[in-house]
Amino acid sequence: MSQITTASEPQKHRPVSSADIEFFASTGARIVHGERPLGSEYNTDHFGKYFGSTSVAVFPSTTEQVSRILEHCNRNAIAVVTQGGNSGTAGGAMAQQGEIILSLRDMNKVRALDEVSGVLVADGGCVLEDLDNHVRNYGYIMPVDLGAKKKCMIGGNVSTSAGGLRYLRYGSMHGTVLGVEAVLPDGRVLDALFTLKKDASGYDVKQLFIGAEGTLGVVTAVAIALAPKPQCAQIAVLGLRDFGRIQKAFVLARQALGEIVSAFEFWEKRCNEIVVEYEGYASPLAGSHEFYVLIETRGSFARHDAEKMEVFLGLLRQQGLVDETRVFSDAQEMEQTWLFRSQMAEAHGKSGCMHVYDFSLPSKHQHELLIAVKAHLQDAGLYNVPDAPVKDVTIFGHIGDDNIHLQVVAREFGGVVESAMEPWVYEWVGGHGGSVAAEHGLGAHKGKFLKFSKSSVVIDTMKSLKNLIDPNGIMNPGKHIALA
């Protein structure tokens, strides 16, 4: 099996010396270092596709420590990669050029929670699930919910502009994040930790750090608007025979269920089979279907919501849109159903070497993409032939926000499969009005394909911002916009 380990650009920064390590330790930060590259905990990405080579990891516990560390690195041309839960899939947190890793794991404290306004202020290293469990005690939930919530951290969520499972209901990081505290590459602390929901006093600087993937600085704290904890919830899983029926069901759900819809997910038949085979979970429906849909509602009055769901499912049957339906209202059953959906990527990763593509694409083109990719790979002799390098091609996603995940499961990473897919698939997506990165970020690889979905003026503006804020290029070098 081959993996991607090559750095994106030549080394431009000096290696870390023993004197540097002594300085890092003098700040009070915890240090892990060795003569050789550290283990997979630091140098292997979530799906084992991207690898790093760092031998130094620094664990500050305060913003002041981060400031001193970055000021030293900037002055001495030492490159830095910020790492949170290391749950990303685009290689953005891998130190591929031997940079030091600045880990936020020790910055994990809740700073404040306003019970009236529902605003949380927390360190960037707080694990998402821990925060959600904490705010539930006060009648709130985190507005973002991810499959990696047991591991991912809020600073990383902000830095990658994570979307998640309930984007349809609670919106994006660009809307829910009210403020950030970030340490700039030269060590200055940018205090934009605003906690009010209205602010028209100049440029909204915090937005620069949402989706910057650690290229402009380190997000050390986040102020985020929470959502009220729902008093009741239910899930309906549908079995459908074609993608057109999914689109019609979505429109009908928005009309019939209205304000209580919190998620509308879909996956296709092969995805269902892979989860059953590699995770050992039972399918949520008894029958086998070409497509599956998961609809979640969250509200405050269970009887009212159940009645609305009953009416909605009746309309689906009346219009011949579904072949099977099942409603879950028991908390444990709903958790298991969500687990089935949220472990879909993990199951694909276990089934082979998963080339995962994360696109935003108008829903009318999403199934077309699957058909086009299969035809393209088959024409290249890579799929649906004896001993083909590609084992599976599947799609699943968040139909409510036009985010689709395409999986090309191969027998090895890179090689002929990647050459056949790239840049072809990015050009196809851009040509159909899509974005080359919806919620996983650009990371170590996708920046070079940005031209297919962003204009040259937009790309030049991004580069100008990077050069202005990080003129020495110490923050996550060779990734993100640097590749464009």
Tens of pLDDT, residues 222-281 = 999 999 999 999 999 999 999 999 999 999 999 999 999 999 999 999 999 999 999 999
> For the whole model, what pTM was predicted?
0.91
Identity of residue 120: L
Q: How far is Cα 85 from Cα 42, in angstroms, rounded to an integer?
A: 10
Structure tokens at 20: 């540097």
Residue 102 pLDDT > 80: yes
Q: Are strands 80-83 and 100-103 parallel, antiparallel or unpaired?
A: parallel
* For the chain, counts of helices (H) and of strands (E): 16, 18
Structure tokens at 368: 């077309």
Task: Give the percent of the chain with pLDDT over 70.
Answer: 98
Question: What tens digit of pLDDT does each residue of 35-92 get?
Answer: 899 999 999 988 888 999 999 999 999 999 999 999 999 999 999 999 999 988 889 9
Residue 59 and residue 103 in contact, taking contact as beta carbons nearer than 8 Å: yes
**SS3 at position 278:** helix
Lowest mean pLDDT among 139-143, 153-157, 412-416: 412-416
In the block, tokens 């596709």 appear at 49
Q: How far is Cα 170 from Cα 172, in angstroms, rounded to an integer?
A: 7
